[in-house]
Structure 1
Amino acid sequence: MRVKHPSSPAGDTATSRPRQAEAAGSAGVVPTGKLPARAGRGRKGPVVPDAATVAEIFRRFHDANPEPRGELEYVNPYTLLVAVVLSAQATDAGVNKATRPLFAIADTPAKMLALGEESLREAIKTIGLYRNKAKNVIALSRQLIERFGGEVPRSREALETLPGVGRKTANVVMNIAFGAPTIAVDTHLFRVANRIPLAPGKTPLAVEMGLEKVVPEPYRRHAHHWLILHGRYVCKARKPDCSRCLINDLCRYEAKTI
């Protein structure tokens, strides 16, 4: 099954290094006028919006895209796990290009082991860090068979014991494959959460914990997809496209482009 964001332009996802950076209220209505240019900062740093404003932010994301999807292609939980591991320091598009033919012949741990590390390296050689990633994929495939009956475990703790799998990868798999309301913090989400600000923090874990506290429960399932896609296509790193931003009147980022 190919999953693709339905509103990609003209639509983990920049990712962190494997294992290292793998790193509430009810709906309400808020004023739509622009906030003062320097609003949003207190004596100790950024001040997050109140619960009603946070709920309105996610209501707008939901209304614009009720069922957001990640952009990595996969056919089952195992291939999703492999795709996310391969996506570290690589683009989703680059990973998809390599995994389409790969998953056609190796979509289970047993088939991946039968393929072997050398053939796997050849299949993913267009992806950055492919040698180490191939080693990890073979190792995690072996562990899935030996320890989990060939199935991808559903808990973060179990997932993080697998080679090449850190917290962010585990959160992605739990969310997409099993519907858990986890929040996977990549570089785009980290930027957006600090800019708005929704959950300012100096580390991905701090941002993740902050978002878990403020995102209203009805929106938690898709929260990280909305924020990642918003950061990837609208709230860009060098020059955010604030004229296209559906929450620009609620955002307190001082360096807006409008």
Structure 2
Amino acid sequence: MDKKSNLDFNSVFGLLLAFVAVIGGQILEGGHAGSLIQAAAFLIVIGGTVGAVLLQSPIKVFVRGVKMAKWIFFPPNYSPQSLIKQIISWAHVVRKDGLLALEAYVPIVKDPLMKKGLQLLADGSAADKLRESMEIDISMLENQQRQSARIWEAAGGYAPTIGILGAVLGLIQVMENLSEPNLLGSGIAVAFVATIYGVGFANLVCLPIANKLKSIINEQLIMQEILVDGMAAIANGENPRFIESRLQGYCI
């Protein structure tokens, strides 16, 4: 479960398509792509949004959420069939050599939850105790990941409002320089571009990232449930064929 998959081209294509559509539409309407580049508007929207999210979130949650953003392009491996195959191989080992034989696999496994489950099995833990212990870890991990994913959802809520704030600041600059026509253009540009940045950053970046992270977390939760269910079945001494048949239900 700890392995990373290849580049998610769907995410790359979706992000590129969104930005090309916006910039292409601007050009088709007779505008210039360069007019969408405003450093002041960018600073107001991005800086204000990050500041607001930092204010509401503990730094650990914020940092973890930023790191999780790489899942959009390189998501964790989701391969329930491979996991089921691995569990069934352990079931056959136990059937042939006993639970203690699984101890040889503990150093090889990298995933913390899988390593813990194998160690509990090798130690002869009862199925209900094994399930209870692993489900606590799963619950805590899921809670941490969902909290971290919510920073993107929060950013998607703050960005449009901060974009409006940037627009108001630009209009204030315009009002202060009515006697100097050469300064009006920059103020108006900041006003409108800040709104575009706020709405665009929220709806083209933050909210899609938040929703995709939730989807990935759900996929990982299914993998973890397969693992716990399979290991509990091994602890109960169930037949490998029966274990496989039951675990295949997660793949429907």
TM-score, length-normalised on structure 1? 0.28
| Structure of higher CA gyration radius | 2
Greater RCO (CA < 8 Å, at least 6 residues apart): 2
TM-score, length-normalised on structure 2? 0.29
Q: Normalized per residue, which structure has more helix?
A: 2
